[in-house]
Amino acid sequence: MSKLYVIGIGPGSKEYLTFKAQKIVDSSDMLVGSKRALALFPENKVKKLEVNAQNMEKMFKESISYVSSGKTVALLSTGDPGFSGVLKPILNLKDDIDIEVIPGISSVQLCAAKLQIPWDDADLVTLHGKGVSNDLLDLLENGKPTVILPNFDLNEIARFLLDHDVDPQREVVICEKLSYPDERIVKMSLGDVLKDDFSYMCVMVIF
Ligand SMILES: C[S@@+](CC[C@H](N)C(=O)[O-])C[C@H]1O[C@@H](n2cnc3c(N)ncnc32)[C@H](O)[C@@H]1O
């Protein structure tokens, strides 16, 4: 039966891909995802649609119509589809098709694991697609670590917090390119974040 599988593929390395995700990818008629997501499955020879910020809606509509025509599609989401992933946009577009979500290991989960932070003692926040707001300032006062998925730019967060009188010595850990060979985990002060260069692929923790 045709179906749209919304599949979390984990933080990037195949070591964090679940057996379930791999099994469904292997039996799908088409793979849809970012360049980074598709790169995990070079051996798969079915049709592939590459998604980027500009063509996302078009590619998702194409995926939905492929499912409507009787095919099975694997829509790949880095990390987990439900945390700033593709689940929300696809639910907004979906027609009358069957959808199943396969969870994946989120970058924030791997970050918490690397830093040995129990989730129930932390606040998990996504700024993706939203940017920084005063809500973050309130969280920083509650004594728990704040695990943040940035809106691409760590400097934006650091600048906002410093402009709102957060202590420049406040301890921060940046987890960059988690699970990749060039993974980098650095501890620094909030003020020093502005002096370094980070890729868009980061999770930031403020202690
Ligand atoms: C569109 S969001 C997707 C988040 C994803 N659904 C998740 O659960 O990890 C993309 C952002 O996730 C973070 N991210 C994804 N993979 C990462 C990785 N391997 N290491 C660090 N951060 C990562 C980065 O902040 C990146 O800008």
For 13-82, the DSSP string reads SGGGS-HHHHHHHHT-SEEEE-HHHHTT-TT--SEEEE--TTTHHHHHHHHHHHHHTT-EEEEEESB-TT
**What is the structure's pLDDT at 1?**
78
**What is the structure's pLDDT at 30?**
97
Give me the domains of the chain, ranges plus CATH numbers.
Answer: 3-105 (3.40.1010.10), 108-206 (3.30.950.10)
Q: Which of 78, 106, 151, when mutated, tests ligand 1's pocket best, judged by the most ligand atoms within 8 Å of its CB?
A: 78
**What is the structure's pLDDT at 54?**
94
Q: Which of 35, 76, 107, when mutated, tests ligand 1's pocket best, judged by the most ligand atoms within 8 Å of its CB?
A: 107
What's this model's pTM, rounded to 2 decimal places? 0.94
72 Cβ neighbours under 8 A, 6+ residues apart: 2, 3, 4, 5, 27, 28, 29, 30
For the chain, which ranges sit under pLDDT 50? none
pLDDT tens figures, 65-102? 999 999 999 999 999 999 999 999 999 997 789 999 99
Q: Are 5 and 47 in contact (CB under 8 A)?
A: no
**What is the structure's pLDDT at 73?**
98
